[in-house]
Structure 1
């Protein structure tokens, strides 16, 4: 899976991987699809992949959201664009309210993280989550249930700017 970087905002540094000067590391990386999606599914009638929702074989339902991690000592937030599997019922409820003002007042939906973030061990697949709907035009916020998993710990405690740079180097240079 390829994670795509977006807008940078933490001050530049010299990359320990390539030795080049990078002005600023990206603060957001996003997965284009759930880890269970394959390109062959695009042509299957019971599969759908849109920028915000995914259905696989009319059995598995996913919504796109963000895992936000505060950057300690700054006003910045580092985020992962991820996919979360939802029950058919919750997916339908979320879809029915997708364009409804006030949808952010919905109770959170339970889901399973369905994005493999390669910089974490053990796997991030199937971590338990709560999906918090936000106002129209904003992707849901994904809250990991509090466990000892490194991603869940980072979401609760935040990360430093050194960790932001480390993540950028790992993701940009493998």
Structure 2
């Protein structure tokens, strides 16, 4: 799609392919919470944000992905890096098996999307986390049929829908693709 590297006009990042959007923390996590090494999640008490885990009060979050197939994209996917809220028990189970072959054996677990995607969609959205092999983040599928991501995951997204989603975050990817 992009034949050469381009620079995003909003953030200055350089891209050689379509942007995969990533959230650095769950929406409930205060911006001033420092991001620590993963070991802090078991070593620290109270609120903790690491690369892959977050604990805010009694809430537990894991980093995950949400994939959207691109229509006509030869099985290409747009991947949203996001966060999911899980039960304390599922959090401990996942933490215990993180980076181990047994992680995949956890199967599917209920979860709540913990980032407003697209922006402005405020309430947490129900979904399921599919635990995958070690080194891969769990994949979230949206369960609520009325949510915009549900239909995008079911039918896929055309390029214009993907550009609209990215534009809602301030990334004018259409101009990177169509401008020479």
TM-score range, shorter chain: 0.7 to 0.9
Alpha carbons 2:128, 2:141 under 8 Å: kept: yes
Matched ranges for 1:1-174 at <5 A: 10-11=1-2, 26-42=18-34, 45-57=45-57, 59-74=58-73, 75-119=75-119, 123=121, 125-173=123-171
| DSSP 3-state at the match of 2:101 | coil
Alpha carbons 1:115, 1:125 under 8 Å: kept: no
Number of aligned residues: 155
Alpha carbons 2:127, 2:140 under 8 Å: kept: yes
1:25-74 alpha-carbon deviations (Å, 9 max, x no partner): 634101100000013444994011111110112x1100010110000111
Alpha carbons 1:55, 1:62 under 8 Å: kept: yes
| DSSP 3-state at the match of 1:46 | coil
Tell me, in whole angstroms, the C-alpha distance in 1 between the residues paired with 2:15 and 2:32.
Answer: 38
> What residue number does 2:175 align with?
none
Residue 105 (structure 1) shift: 2.4
Give me the TM-score of the superposition, normalised by structure 1: 0.77
Alpha carbons 1:27, 1:77 under 8 Å: kept: no
Residue 126 (structure 1) shift: 1.3
User: For structure 2, which runs of at least 5 residues remain unmatched after alignment?
Assistant: 4-8, 36-43, 173-180
| DSSP 3-state at the match of 2:64 | strand
- RMSD of aligned alpha carbons: 2.7
Tell me, in whole angstroms, the C-alpha distance in 2 between the residues paired with 1:60 and 1:87.
Answer: 8
Tell me, in whole angstroms, the C-alpha distance in 1 between the residues paired with 2:87 and 2:113.
Answer: 13
